[in-house]
Amino acid sequence: MPESFVIFMDYGGQIVINEKIQNVLNAQINKEFYSAYLYLAMSAYFDEIGLCGFSHWTKVQAQEEVDHGMILFDFIIERNGKVELSPISAPDVTLGTPLEIFERIYEHEKYVTSSINCVASMSDEECDLASRNFIDWYIAEQVEEERNVYEVILNLKMFGDDKSALYLLDKDLKSRVFKAHSYN
Ligand code: OFO
């Protein structure tokens, strides 16, 4: 019997989460909360420079990231696993123009996508189908997130130095509404 199957059971015969998957899910919780910090730092900066719509958009994104972390948290508990919270690093905030910041967001989301993909492949390798099924939601969510960020980048590139276009985009980003997701 492969080792990964043995650790599905605890001493009471209860089904528990695969330990390797538990570790990567715990690491993913940390990445989601770090993402929330990063977006909050950007939100504060946008507010400082008077781009209230950009500030609102990144603040809503921070709420979404907390949500993503909490869904992972609830899943580990649901699978009788152990949540392990590690320190959240201060965000490395090298701020610049809205375009530079959104390009940075895009790179960050691509990094998160690769991390989610690793959780999916590890779940396959470990035959942990419950986790594999669970992580599908994140895979779809990353496609949407990357696209949303990319659209803002396209707009910013198209507008160039046009301040009135930036003003209109700022107004548009202000309309973003936070939608809570949940596990279960
Ligand atoms: Fe920005 O994404 Fe979470 O998962």
Q: Is residue 24 part of a domain?
A: yes
Ligand 1 pocket test: pick from 28, 65, 117 the residue with the most ligand atoms within 8 Å of its Cβ.
65
> Measured between alpha carbons, how far is 31 from 132 in angstroms, rounded to an integer?
19
Rg (CA), the chain: 19
Contact present, 103 and 154 (Cβ < 8 Å): no
Q: Is residue 51 part of a domain?
A: yes
Q: Is residue 121 part of a domain?
A: yes
CATH number at residue 72: 1.20.1260.10
Q: Is residue 117 part of a domain?
A: yes
Q: Is residue 5 part of a domain?
A: no
Q: What ligand 1 atom has the least distance to the C-alpha of 109?
A: 1
**How far is ligand 1, taken at its centre, from the CA of residue 17, in Å?**
22
For each of the chain's 184 residues, which pLDDT tens digit applies? 444 444 444 545 566 889 999 999 999 999 999 999 999 999 999 999 999 999 999 999 999 999 999 999 999 999 999 999 999 999 977 779 999 999 999 999 999 999 999 999 999 999 999 999 999 999 999 999 999 999 999 999 999 989 999 999 999 999 999 989 876 6
Q: Is residue 132 part of a domain?
A: yes
Nearest CA to ligand 1 atom 3: 65
Q: What ligand 1 atom has the least distance to the C-alpha of 142?
A: 2
Number of domains the chain is built from: 1
The whole domain housing 62 covers 13-173
* Pocket lining for ligand 1, CB < 6 angstroms: 32, 35, 65, 68, 109, 112, 138, 141, 145
The model carries a pTM of 0.90
**How far is ligand 1, taken at its centre, from the CA of residue 1, in Å?**
35
Q: Is residue 6 part of a domain?
A: no
Q: Is residue 4 part of a domain?
A: no
> Measured between alpha carbons, how far is 97 from 101 in angstroms, rounded to an integer?
6
Nearest CA to ligand 1 atom 1: 109
